[in-house]
Structure formats: structure tokens, C-alpha cells
Amino acid sequence: MTQSKPDIARDLKQAMSAAEFSTAARIGARILKVHPKRTDIQIMTAVSELQGGSPVSAGQRLRKLFRNVPTNDPLFAPVAQNLLQYCYISNDFNSVESAIEQRLRAAPRNDTLSYMLGDFIFQREVAKSPGRCIAPKLSRAIKVLSGIPERSPRFIDAQKVMARVHLHQEQYAQAFALLEAFIAREPKNIEMRMLLASSYAAAAEVEKAVSASLSIIADAPDYSSQPYLIISFLRPQSMPESAAKFLGEMIGKSGLSIGEFYNAAFALAKIEETQGNMKAAFAYYQKAHAANRKARPIDMAQELTELARLSEISRNTGRANDPVSVLELSENATGPKPIFIVGMPRSGTTLTERILGAHPDVHAAGEIGDFAKAVVDVVGPGKTSDQLARMDGKAVRAIRKQYLDALQAFAPDKRFVTNKTPANFIRVEMIRRVFPDAPILHTHRYPLATCLSIYTTPFAIPMRFADDLGEFADYYSAYVRLMETLFETDQNGMLYDLSYEDLVADPEVVTKDFLAHCGLDWHPECLEFYRADNAAATASMIQVRRPIFKDSLGKWQRFEPFIGPLAKLAEDGDNAKVKTAQKSSGKTVAA
């Protein structure tokens, strides 16, 4: 009888299973002294080093493996995956990209390496900037991926990444052309048809998005909850009669992915909401958020501490005599200048930008990530408060130059380029250090209107702070305190308080006022923004294609009986609203 050989990696595996990663890394290193060619043990040791706080050692090990493991080896994929994980932990993207480029130069027809490089470049840019941005390297990614031939096993993967690159950059025509051509060749590929339907939805192509979603449901009704979600929010009256029953059965299945559960629950909520069943609708919204919280937990205490820390930094920062602030005001005088629009999501940022974008001197760039990207490029990733601590005069100049260069690339012939990324409210102190001359419009609505709109909107990246209603109320209150501090310390008078309710009640008067704050004269076409062709790629994409109406002001009241701890925002009254001394400082940007 043949005896099985002992597993030399048994102790290593046991230590990893017990999450004793430092111990596992030492065991792995000891085994590799005797068995240096065991690639599987090299990978397990690298994983242990990553998890055990030794990313430098892990990076060295993984780069060596990457250089030597053949791409057709079954272990090449885990090497590549862990190398990417190393990048996220260490922020050492440069050395890994160089390693991929070097290996691809030695084997230029290797489709696996071409795909890996294109996907790596894309992942790297997304890590720095979740929104579209000026990123020349993405052109390199497209070039490499487009060279993968149709006969290659990597062809479909390459097509998907190229489509996502175009979508990330809001290059919808290119994304549509690529996906439509692919589906013409392979009409039964449901995955690519789903990506095309989602692309239509992102671009506010309602007819095409609904039609594509209905076609997917007809051919593969149980493929995904995504087509049901698209229909429920874009045109609920087109929802198949069997949808509610099917979706209800779907969320009852064990083993359903969190993403599918989340989308199905949101679609069911919208179906119930359309039928006027607000209690049932809110229950489904709660189920969706509970699932997301379980899958993507958040340390809310840490989030609240960060907002409080940002408030304290603003109180303790003096800018009046900052030589960088004065020195850089005249820089790039011939290029476009920035206008920032900040606030909570669903607070009116999209409407505000659409109005500004209808002005002949303004380019509405949308939720661009170029400012956040410039900060990461110059001072590295991390919490906003930590990034602020690393911003000296040299860093301020570098960030300012990189961002102004991006604006020049977006619209060289315009006087202003807007950035309406709502989350930039946490970067206001950072923005005004870099651009003390930039107008910052802060939009806000009635607190419950904002919070319930966030809670009932299926964002592509769910807002984790909104999953628990009690914590959501705490987060909103902390946001209010931060904004109040920022207004109190607005030494250069560039912040403008813009109430959504005021804008809807008297659009011409309010618009004239915030245009003047930005150094812009009045143009009547600003209130005819809905006639413009440029779509807003946000959750507000449908609303901003219509004129300003008052019909949405009281929608939140339908859910008021069910909001539980969120109700304290209403009970707090004015304490839950940002209080500013005046609408505008009267100071405007120089023409």
C-alpha cells in the first residue's frame, strides 16, 4: 500500500486559516529555503506577508513570480491577482506597471499580458479617480486591448474592459459602438447585452435602455435583476407583469450575491412605490441597505471623527497671509478657471451645474475626478485630513498646476470649467488652499428630502453612510457642522450658500445671484438648460432634462411615517440645516 506524502505546507495553511499571518509568513519563508521552486507556497507566503503587515517583502516576492511564471501556468492568475492587491495596499503601482510593460515587450503578442496591462492601467486610474478625468494612460490601455484579436480567449474580456474605460470617461458613443458591434456578431451574449443596457441607462438613453432591458428579460428572465432595476427607475409602467413575483422569489433564494439582492430589492421597492404602497416600498429599501451594510461594513465612528477633524483643521488654518495663495492667483490667466459645486448627493448639484453649463462662458464637466486625482498624485492616498497635513507650498503649486492643466484639456476656450462632485464637500478646505480664488457653490435641500432621496436611489456605488438610518442621521448632522465651520472660516468669501428650495421658488433671481458670485453675467438661456444636448451622467439624469418644476419638493413626505431615527433631523429643525450669515459674500471672481 502506497503512503501519501506529507503536506509540507500543512502548518502554513493552518496558520493562514487561523489568521495568524505573521506566523504563516515566517513558516512559508522557512519552507522556501528548502523548496524554493514551490510556486504555490511562494504565493501563500506572499499573501501572508500582505496580510501580516510586510507588503515590501510581498511585493518583491510577487514581482519575481510574475517575471518567471508562464502565463499559461494555472498559478499565473493568483500571482497576478495578488500583485494587484499589493498595489492597493502599498500604492506601488509604478513598479508593477513597469514589470508588466517589460514582460510584454519581450512577448508583444501575448494576449494575456496585453489584457493584464490594459486592465491594470484602468484599475489604477479608477483607484485614483472614481469619476472621469484627464488620463492619457487610458488611451494606452485602449490601444493595447484593441490589439487583442477576435480569435483570442482574451477577446471578450478585452472588449468588456474597453467598454468600461469608455463608460468611465463618459465616452458613450465609443462605448455604444463597441458593444453594439460585438452584439451584432454574438447576439446571444447576454453579459455584453446587459453591459450595453446599463450603458444606455448611464447615458440617459431611456428608450434604448428600456428596450434593451426588456429584450434581455424576454430571452433570459432569470439572468440578472439589473434589467428589472433599469426599467423600474426609468420607465416603471413598462415593467413586465411577472416582475414582482420573479424578483420576490429571487431575493428569497439562498446563495444570491449581495449585488443581485440589492438590485432586486430596489426594483421591488420602486414597483411598490409606483403603485402607492409606501410602507412595502420602504421595507424593500431597508432590505437592500441591510444587505449592503452586511457586505460592505463601514466604521461610522471613524467617519464622524474624520468630519470633526476636518472642522478643527479649518478653524485652525490661517490663509490671509499665505504667500502661495497670493502668488498663484495670476497663474494660467489665459486658461479656464475652476468653479466647484459641492454638497450632499441629491441636493441640487446637478441642476446647479446644468444652469451654469448653459452659460456661454462655462463648460460643465460633471463629476470629474481630476482634483482628487491631482491630490493623490502629489501627496498620496489616504484620509482627507492626512492629505491636508502633507500639503505644503510645493504640493499646493503642483496640485494647482495639474488641475488647471486638466481644465485646459476639457475646454481650452471657456472661461470656467465646473466640477460638481458632491463629495468634494469634504475637500473644501483643501480646495481653498489650492484655489483661494475659486468660487465654491454649496447646494442643499430640506434635510429629510436629501436623505430620503439618497436612501431611495440605487447609486452605482452605494452610499455606505446611508445604510443605517440612525447612523445616516448622525452623518448628516456631522456634515452640517462641517459646512457651518467652513462658512465661518471663509476668509476669502468664495463660498456661496445655495438652497434648492430657493432656486426652484425663484429661479431667475437666485440664478442671477450665484452667477454674479462666480463672476458671470446674466444670460436668459441659463434657465433653458434642458434644451442642451450634454447629458448629466448622474442619478439625476432624467430630472435635469426638464425645466425647473416644484413638483419634487414634497416627495419625501410619502415616506415620513417609516423613517424611524432619521426623523430626528426634522425634530432638530434649523439645527439640521447649514446656517450661514448671508447668501453671498458679495466678492466675485475677477473677470
Residue 279 has pLDDT above 60, yes or no: yes
Chain centroid, CA 339 distance in Å: 20
Residue 299 has pLDDT above 80, yes or no: yes
Query: Last residue of a domain, which of 40, 60, 90?
Result: 90
Q: Is residue 389 part of a domain?
A: yes
Tell whether 284 is covered by a domain.
no
> Which residues are paired to 365 by β-bridges?
none
- The region of weakest confidence among 143-152, 162-171, 547-556 is 547-556
Longest Cα–Cα distance of the chain, Å, equals 93
3-state secondary structure 276-315: CCHHHHHHHHHHHHHHHHHHCCCCHHHHHHHHHHHHHHHH
Within a domain: 213: no
Residue 243 CB: number of other CB atoms within 10 A?
21
Q: What is the pLDDT of residue 589?
A: 34
Considering the domain boundaries, does residue 282 fall inside one?
Answer: no
Tell me, what CATH number does 429's domain have? Answer: 3.40.50.300
Domain ends where: 90, 108, 131?
Answer: 90
Domain contains 292: no
List strands edge to edge, sheet with 440-444.
362-364, 416-419, 337-342, 440-444, 495-499
* CATH number where 82 lies: 1.25.40
What is the per-residue pLDDT across 550-575, written as a single tens digit (0 to 9) for each?
Answer: 555 566 788 888 999 998 888 766 55
Work out the burial of residue 236: count CB atoms within 10 Å of its CB; fewer than 13 is exposed, 13-18 middle, 19 or more buried.
Answer: middle
How many structural domains comprise the chain? 2
pLDDT in tens, 523-544: 999 988 777 665 445 554 444 4
| 185 domain-assigned | no
- Domain boundary among the residues 524, 540, 555 is at 555
Write out the residue range of the structural domain in which residue 57 sits: 7-90
In angstroms, the CA 407 to CA 237 distance is 41
Establish if 369 belongs to a structural domain. Answer: yes
Q: pLDDT digit string (tens) for 40-90?
A: 999 999 999 999 999 999 999 999 999 999 999 999 999 999 999 999 898
- The reported pLDDT for the residue numbered 127 is 87
Question: Domain for residue 381, yes or no?
Answer: yes
